[in-house]
Structure 1
Amino acid sequence: MSGFQSNTSIKLLAEKLGLSKGTVSKALKDSHEISVATKAKVLAAAQELNYIPNHFASGLKSRKSRTVAVIVPEIVDSFFSLAIKGIEAVTQEKGYHINVYITNDLRSKEEEIIKVLSDGRVDGVLISVCRETTDNCHLKKLVDYGIPLVFFDRVADDIEAGKVVTDDFEGGYIAARHLVEQGCKKIYFLSISEGLSILRKRMDGFIRALHENNVEDPSKNVYQIPTDKTKSEEAIRILLSSPHHRPDGIVASVELLTIPMYNACKQLGIVMPDQLKIVCFSNLLYASLLSPSLSTITQPAFEIGQQAASLICNSIERDTFIKNERIICPSKLDVRESTSTAALSN
């Protein structure tokens, strides 16, 4: 091979050969799914066009980087930091490295990262999609390029790939039912996105629990909160100050809302759990140290990371794509002082 031709891509090879990009990619990886004749045809065209993937110039047939990309919206949220630890525990044991990419919950950033990874610099991708992602065309490119893909927590339901999740519907249901059992009459669900599937499922579980307890049109009890800290505190203060809509129970859909809720209560002189009871979806390590300690729907973040890593490593090692495998890791309700006077007295 005489040299590197940077403008030659898998797409160009596919067009030249009349094959799909996925088939070309698998052939270049020496996949058992591709016939010997097709592999030879692809390799011959690759040599003719001086095609060498950027990060694997040492050879077309032995291109394993032993690297897995992990794409997350953020790492400030304790869920993702714990999930990454779970991923790393498995990948290290299996001899893989991880590269962590942060989207900051921006679709444009997510698209940029996917574009960078599409050249085959990693052996597989683990992703929790950003809040802005509703159209998944950019994610489907990974499948087109033959790169193993597994979703965890925030998933793209319309893409056939491995998925590791918790039962978000059940979590929303349990949280709302707990507040009903604690005597709450006006319960609100605080969300930060109408489009993110996990939040819709949590909301649906919340609505089901209120329906079962004869609340008329509980969808009116869903309140959208901005993600900006100052704006979120202001929105929560407005809700808690409303003479007609002030809740006595809140299900917070994400950990991000914890501090704004506590700050708003402090500023308004609202006493938990006497005047307001709060349950939050959270993996905060210091939830028990807050005053009052925070009742949470706790997700098994570390286990979710482990399961996702196991799926992607198995997919890479077997050189196969996981299409419809879905692993559900149950969450649990941890009752603390923000919802229970009994917990407060213990």
Structure 2
Amino acid sequence: MSQVNIKKLAAALGLSTSTVSRAFRNNNDINPQTKERILQMAETLGYSPNIYASNLRESKSKTIAIIIPEFGNNFFSQAIKGIEQQARANGYHTLIYVTEDDVNQEAAFVRALCNGRVEGVVMSASGEGLKHSHLSMLKEKKVPLVFFDRCYEDVDATCVTGNDYDSSYAATRHLIENGCKRIVYLVVNKKISIGKIRMQGYRDALKDAGVPYDETFVIECTNDKDEIYATLKDAMNRLKPDGAFASVERLAMASLRLCQNEGINIPEDFKLICFSCLEIADMLNPPLSTVKQPAFEMGEKAAEVLFEALSRREVITKKQLIYLPSIIIPRKSTTFINR
């Protein structure tokens, strides 16, 4: 039996090759019933289209890049699912790059992507620098960019993010209303956009409750597990806090571990709440109060904005912030104890 090609498939269906081609490209300008008939016949005859070669002829990679600061955070794994769902729906593939919160690594990835490998980029910023000129290369190469969660204020692009200020204010207020007076703010990088915004929510909640702000209660940590533990232990010994608002999940996990090792009872002696998409937060000991972000929806919306830009052949996306609300889920780690 001779090999089936697109011409033979089209002849078997009594259709043009362009109609058959549109079916495999997931185009919107083809009747759904016709598309289904084409796909069924292709399966019957054992035809598989060479989409990659076709894309090369049209100078399209049908691929987008996802650039994230880290993998070790449930937020990013859920956001990636949202991005990839949109990519599949649009007939695209994804490439994932992890910067480890290093803006220089981020720049290296962006430079590598400017060779035509991808048509667009969805990115969560790694860290603040004086300039982010590497991202201007994307505009020069006509590769649109959309930020999610973290962005650079000096870069013109859409950013899909959470209502971090309101959420941080509410989380801090929650600790205060449950009896905390010495609340530390735990952060990995207070210079990135979300670090600054979340810290402002923390500060304003203290101010409105009449609790003095003390800069020494802002505990900045690295990404190294051992260094985080040492920093938190030193802060607990020096400051004697009765509560903590962790801006990222890993700092809450380290706090739980420290309290367990040091015999600090939660919530009797110390209360804890954090930003987290951890699905087993309710199974921890004690169950952890969280600010749950719409991670999947954030990734989904960011990708949706990117594909809209690609469909309109836009070189850049509109500079705007799209906010998606988070919710506070109180659990035992912040329970008020009546002494």
Aligned equivalent of 1:144: 140
Change (3 A) 1:100 1:186: same
Alpha-carbon shift at residue 108 of structure 1 (Å): 2.2
Kindly indicate whether the alpha-carbon contact (under 8 Å) linking 2:294 and 2:324 is maintained by their aligned counterparts in 1: yes
Aligned equivalent of 1:126: 122
Aligned equivalent of 2:184: 188
Aligned equivalent of 2:274: 280
Task: Give the match's secondary structure for 2:174.
Answer: helix
Note the residue ranges of structure 2 that are not aligned, 5 or more in a row.
Answer: 1-52
Note the residue ranges of structure 1 that are not aligned, 5 or more in a row.
Answer: 1-54
2:329 matched to 1:334?
yes
Q: Among 143, 149, 156, which residue is 2:152 paired with?
A: 156
2:81 matched to 1:108?
no
Offset from partner CA, 1:125-149 (integer Å, 9 cap, x none) = 1111113555311112212222111
Alpha-carbon shift at residue 259 of structure 1 (Å): 2.2
Q: Among 277, 286, 295, which residue is 1:292 paired with?
A: 286
Change (3 A) 1:57 1:66: closer
Offset from partner CA, 1:263-322 (integer Å, 9 cap, x none) = 110121100001000011111111111100110111100000100010011111110132
With the length of structure 2 as denominator, give the TM-score of the two structures: 0.80
With the length of structure 1 as denominator, give the TM-score of the two structures: 0.78
Q: Distance in 2 between matches of 1:226 and 1:327?
A: 29
Kindly indicate whether the alpha-carbon contact (under 8 Å) linking 2:158 and 2:318 is maintained by their aligned counterparts in 1: yes
Kindly indicate whether the alpha-carbon contact (under 8 Å) linking 2:55 and 2:62 is maintained by their aligned counterparts in 1: no
Kindly indicate whether the alpha-carbon contact (under 8 Å) linking 1:75 and 1:81 is maintained by their aligned counterparts in 2: yes
Q: Distance in 2 between matches of 1:209 and 1:92?
A: 42
Over aligned residue pairs, what C-alpha RMSD do you find?
1.8
Alpha-carbon shift at residue 56 of structure 1 (Å): 9.5
2:261 matched to 1:233?
no
2:302 matched to 1:319?
no
Aligned equivalent of 2:48: none
The percentage of counterpart residues that share the same residue type is 37
Task: Give the match's secondary structure for 2:155.
Answer: coil
Alpha-carbon shift at residue 57 of structure 1 (Å): 9.6
Kindly indicate whether the alpha-carbon contact (under 8 Å) linking 2:83 and 2:302 is maintained by their aligned counterparts in 1: yes
Kindly indicate whether the alpha-carbon contact (under 8 Å) linking 2:298 and 2:324 is maintained by their aligned counterparts in 1: yes
Change (3 A) 1:201 1:58: closer
Task: Give the match's secondary structure for 1:328.
Answer: strand
Question: What is the identity, as a one-letter code, of the residue corresponding to 2:76?
Answer: F
Q: Distance in 1 between matches of 2:294 and 2:87?
A: 18
Kindly indicate whether the alpha-carbon contact (under 8 Å) linking 1:105 and 1:132 is maintained by their aligned counterparts in 2: no
Kindly indicate whether the alpha-carbon contact (under 8 Å) linking 1:207 and 1:218 is maintained by their aligned counterparts in 2: no
Q: Distance in 2 between matches of 1:186 and 1:112?
A: 42
Task: Give the match's secondary structure for 1:129.
Answer: coil
Count of aligned pairs: 284
Task: Give the match's secondary structure for 2:135.
Answer: helix
Alpha-carbon shift at residue 325 of structure 1 (Å): 3.3
Kindly indicate whether the alpha-carbon contact (under 8 Å) linking 1:210 and 1:218 is maintained by their aligned counterparts in 2: no
Task: Give the match's secondary structure for 2:205.
Answer: helix
Task: Give the match's secondary structure for 2:59.
Answer: coil
Q: Distance in 1 between matches of 2:235 and 2:126?
A: 27
Question: What is the identity, as a one-letter code, of the residue corresponding to 1:333?
Answer: I
Offset from partner CA, 1:166-201 (integer Å, 9 cap, x none) = 111112111100001101111110111132110110
Q: Distance in 1 between matches of 2:131 and 2:331?
A: 39
Change (3 A) 1:218 1:116: same
Q: Among 93, 98, 112, which residue is 1:97 paired with?
A: 93
Question: What is the identity, as a one-letter code, of the residue corresponding to 1:337?
Answer: K
Task: Give the match's secondary structure for 1:135.
Answer: coil
Question: What is the identity, as a one-letter code, of the residue corresponding to 2:272?
Answer: I
Change (3 A) 1:95 1:210: same
Question: What is the identity, as a one-letter code, of the residue corresponding to 2:83?
Answer: I
Kindly indicate whether the alpha-carbon contact (under 8 Å) linking 1:134 and 1:195 is maintained by their aligned counterparts in 2: no
